Every structure is written in C-alpha cells, then in structure tokens.
Amino acid sequence: MKYKQRLGVSVLAMTALMYTGIVAADGFVAAFGGYAFGTTDFSTIDSITEEESTVKIAESEHWGIMAGVTTPDPGSIYLLYSHQSTEFSIGDNLNQPEVTKLEIDYLHLGGALYFPQGKFRPYITTSAGLTQMRPDNGFSNETSFSMGIGGGAEYQFTPNFALFADMRGYATFINSSQALFCNSGNCKWLVDSELMWQGQVNVGTKLTF
C-alpha cells in the first residue's frame, strides 16, 4: 500500500513538474518573407504522347508564419507554414513552354538550437512535415512528405522582440514514376524523379510572450 502511495505521489510530482515546465516556457510567434530559389527540375513523361520533358518551377517571393515555445537548451519547438505563389513550365521548347500557375505550401514541425552571443543568437534548425503543390487549370493537388534543414541568426532588441534572417533547404520526397497533376481521372504526366529540392532565404520578426 505504501509503495502504491509513493508511486502515486511520484507520478503526481512528475506531472506537476512537466506542467510547470510547459507553463514556464515562453511562447512566440514570428512572421517572415523571402525568396524561394533553386528548385530542382525533374523529368516527366507525357502519359499520352510518351514524350520526355522537364518540369521547371520558377523562382519567386514567399511568406510564412511560425508559432512555438522555447526550450532550455536554449532552443525552440515550432510549427511553420510557408506559402509561395509561382508557376511551372513543362517542355524542352524554351520558346513555347506550357506554363501553369502553381501554389506551394510547406507545413512543418521543427526545432531550433541556439548559440547565444549576447543579443546575437545564431541557430541551426531542422523540420519535417508536408509539401503541397496546387496547380491551376483543374489539375489535382499533390501532397508529399518533406524535410527541412537550415541555419540563421536573430538579434534580440528587447526580451520580447527580435529580428531574424535564415536560409533553409527543403527536400520533398516524390515517388519515382508516380502520376502527377491528374485532371478528371486522366494523368497528364508521370514523374521520373524521387526528390524535389528548394532553397529559401528569409527575413522576419519574432515576438516572445
């Protein structure tokens, strides 16, 4: 009986400590904008004509938001959403490419580790989640697993306000030879690639509370 009582007290104590740790952690929100570049071209095969071609996703601006909590490492755990409005072209004929508008979203759960030097705080970060590509012209949306890695730095003007800049790389896993961008049950292209890489440079503001 005493053992059960002690076990119960220990569990309650651990729960209280965990709750206290969560309550004591600082929360933060951040908004950022930047430029997405270096997206990997990937090969496709037209399902009708069987002609090989290349998908090229144009570089463009993007924006995003983050929300998370700090950790005592010092570091942070966060949820990130990034949105890019761009277009992709298909074909080897540079004069007459088939161009379609494209929306690219990243939704990632990530973590960062900081190396503070006073108010200047360099950091590294990794994340994992989903990439969704939403083309125009009635083609289907495509959602795939992706991972991210990056590094940057923030400068704390006050304990509650900071500016940051970073560079991130995202790897989206695309199954080789899968159908891509289907329309009314007809799949226009078959992908002959496994990964799509994309880089981002970001500048943003961070509020801690």
Question: 38 lies in a domain?
Answer: yes
Q: What is the CATH classification number for the domain harbouring 98?
A: 2.40.160.20
What pLDDT, on the 0 to 100 scale, is given for residue 10?
47
Which residue segment(s) compose the domain that 195 sits in? 26-208
What pLDDT, on the 0 to 100 scale, is given for residue 191?
72
- 3-class SS of residue 10: helix
What pLDDT, on the 0 to 100 scale, is given for residue 189?
66
Question: 185 lies in a domain?
Answer: yes
DSSP string, 127-194: EEEEEEEEESTTPPPEEEEEEEEEEEEEEEEETTEEEEEEEEEEEEE--TT-EEEEETTEEEEEE--S
Question: 20 lies in a domain?
Answer: no
Question: 2 lies in a domain?
Answer: no
pLDDT one digit per residue (tens) for the chain, 209 residues: 444 454 444 444 444 444 444 455 799 999 999 999 988 887 777 767 777 777 889 999 999 999 999 999 899 999 999 999 999 887 665 545 678 899 999 999 999 999 999 999 999 999 999 999 998 877 788 899 999 999 999 999 999 999 999 999 999 998 655 666 676 656 666 676 788 999 999 999 999 99
Residue 78 CA: distances (Å) to CA of 26, 27, 59, 64, 187: 12, 9, 26, 13, 36
How many domains does one find in the chain? 1
Question: 113 lies in a domain?
Answer: yes
Question: 9 lies in a domain?
Answer: no
Q: How many CB atoms lie within 10 A of CB 201?
A: 17
- 3-class SS of residue 17: helix
